[in-house]
Amino acid sequence: MANKQDFTIIDRNTKFAKNPQNLIKRLQQNKRDFFLRETNYLTSLIYDGKEIIFTKKDSMFPAKQLWIFNIVKKDALDFANRVEKGEAEFIMPPKYSVNRTNLQYDDSFGVITGTDINAAYWTIAYRLGVISENTYTRVIGDDTKVVRLAALAILGRDVVYNEYQNGRVLKDKKVINGSKLLKEFYKAIRYTCYMYMHEIAELLGRDFDAYRTDCIYYRDNDVNKKIVYDYLDERGFYYKQLEYETEE
């Protein structure tokens, strides 16, 4: 069973390398105390108050983008500090379903189109204040999509490590507790997205077909497109219109 205790990394200096095995062996041979965590994509080592992250071959998280995890967490912690001091406002939005389908949609006429929001969670994180404008603009490209979504998703999570003392692994694992408020931030990002989809659906009325996370489907006409575009423009989103092949 994991030993769930508070643990603070005094000096979180994250570095990136390719192979952690030599360092792990050296720490064991020198009978050092350290923490080790391995996933399918990363290996994390903590010793002397520092964290070193190693990327695995063919990892979905490129080494040159791992700094995104740190900057997102730093921004979120800064925002949490302002919220706790009363210097910033944070309100949890109402909960709506991640997906919704209009079972009464009449598909006997017209065609369906869809509008997909670009970087929905990332933009909402910025609008809520969870990340700064500088972070938002630096990491908005398509090539960073996987890492930025992961950086938001892990906010506040408890992280389990194997603990080594005198170079030998202990039976009980160490849990580094996450922040409850940071967990709430990620929940608020998701709920805000679903709330927006719900509100657009209500505006479309009988012409609404379905929404899936950050993409909404509806009867294709100029009036409906204007409803969707005006709503998204007002909230500062970029988006793209989905196109479907049609048969004669």
Segment 26-39 mean pLDDT: 94
- What span, in angstroms and rounded, lies between the C-alpha atoms of 227 and 183? 33
pLDDT tens-digit series, residues 223-245: 999 999 999 999 999 999 987 65
- Residues 198 and 98: beta-carbon distance below 8 Å: no
Q: Collapse the DSSP code of 78 into the 3-class scheme (helix H, G, I; strand E, B; otherwise coil) and give the result.
A: helix
β-partners of residue 160 are 175
The two tokens of residue 108 are 């006997």
- What span, in angstroms and rounded, lies between the C-alpha atoms of 195 and 208? 15
Looking at per-residue confidence, does 27 or 9 come out higher?
27
- What span, in angstroms and rounded, lies between the C-alpha atoms of 37 and 161? 5
pLDDT of 246 higher than 50: no
Pairing of strands 112-118, 238-242: antiparallel
Looking at per-residue confidence, does 113 or 55 come out higher?
113
What value does the mean pLDDT of the chain take? 90
**Position 52, amino acid:** I
- What span, in angstroms and rounded, lies between the C-alpha atoms of 82 and 140? 24
**Burial class, 192, CB count within 10 angstroms (exposed 0-12 / middle 13-18 / buried 19+):** buried
- What span, in angstroms and rounded, lies between the C-alpha atoms of 43 and 1? 21
Ranges assigned E (strand) in 74-128: 99-101, 112-118
pLDDT tens-digit series, residues 186-209: 999 999 999 999 999 999 999 999
What is the per-residue pLDDT for 13?
58
Segment 115-134 mean pLDDT: 97
Looking at per-residue confidence, does 57 or 182 come out higher?
182
- What span, in angstroms and rounded, lies between the C-alpha atoms of 31 and 169? 11
